Amino acid sequence: MIFSLPFFLAAALWAGNTSANVKLRPGQHLRIILLGLFGYYLSSYFDFVGLQYISAGLERLILFLYPSIVVLINAFFFRQRITRIQGIALLLTYLGIGLAYYDEMQFDTANPNFVWGSILIFLCSITYAIYLAGSGRIIPYIGPSRFTAYSMLAATAGIFIHFSFSRNYTDLTATAGIWQYGLLLAIAATVLPTFLMAAGMSRIGSNNMAIISSIGPVSTILQAHWILGEPIHNGQITGTALVIAGALLTGWKSRTISE
């Protein structure tokens, strides 16, 4: 986040000086700050802690519950009716997670923190879904670049405050040998994806974004197998197919309604 901060500051200054900008109300400032804290600070914290206890493949499957959680958030908080097709999609998604989770438990019986790690990743999925549901309503009003810059600055502030209370700044010098990875993560895995996602969402909508991102679990499982040496189980493959089918069905049905 130290490496990412200059990019977000520059983007905030550029977006703030655009003549087409609308003036933000105090409530909108607070909403952007909260979405930034939920969408990156809390989500990344839950994700990274949970990854200490479960495999990257299972982590991605649990995290990919976020499209269904967005549907539930819209139903309970914004009074959007869950259709029959969406209900089937939710059933497929959670059935797939249950199957993959049960299969993973058979191969990870010696891990005492398996359930705790899974809960943390599920919390990550919830906080990310809150971010998506909220950002989808505010991005059309203020624009993707401005929203991303402001929300990520809020997330960065949360991360810096957390670090100041939980760690010592001398830890940064002790890990000087891995700073190049921090720079790579900042550019390739933080700055570019956040701006690209917001820009893409403003053009094709959050539902189509969820459809395209369905490649995520498959990509992660394959990379975890080839790079990290994690085994691929039959239950994991079947569960992944069900989760992706549910996410695709949710996005396709929502897109059809909007059209």
Round to whole Å and give the CA distance between 58 and 216: 12
Query: What's the mean pLDDT in 89-108?
Result: 78
Q: How confident is the model at residue 18 (pLDDT cuts 50, 70, 90)?
A: low
Query: What's the mean pLDDT in 233-238?
Result: 80
The reply to whether 173 falls in a domain is no
The reply to whether 103 falls in a domain is yes
Round to whole Å and give the CA distance between 259 and 245: 21
The per-residue pLDDT for 167 is 83
- Residue 214: pLDDT over 70: no
- For residues 196 and 63, the answer to whether their CB atoms sit within 8 Å is no
The reply to whether 172 falls in a domain is no
The reply to whether 203 falls in a domain is yes
Q: How confident is the model at residue 169 (pLDDT cuts 50, 70, 90)?
A: confident
Name the residue among 95, 131, 110, 140 with its Cα closest to residue 241: 95
pTM as predicted: 0.80
- Please give the tally of structural domains in the chain: 1
Looking at per-residue pLDDT, the higher value among 74 and 163 belongs to: 163
The per-residue pLDDT for 20 is 57
The per-residue pLDDT for 46 is 96
The reply to whether 98 falls in a domain is yes
Percent of the chain with pLDDT over 70: 85
Residues of the domain holding 248: 5-16+23-167+178-258
73: which residues sit within 8 A by CB, 6+ positions away? 129, 130, 133
The reply to whether 35 falls in a domain is yes
The reply to whether 50 falls in a domain is yes
The reply to whether 34 falls in a domain is yes
CA distances from 194 to 11, 29, 86, 120, 187 (A): 12, 19, 27, 22, 10
Q: Kindly report which listed range (22-36, 39-53, 186-200, 205-219) carries the lowest average pLDDT score.
A: 205-219
Query: What's the mean pLDDT in 103-126?
Result: 84
The per-residue pLDDT for 257 is 45
- Residue 258: pLDDT over 50: no
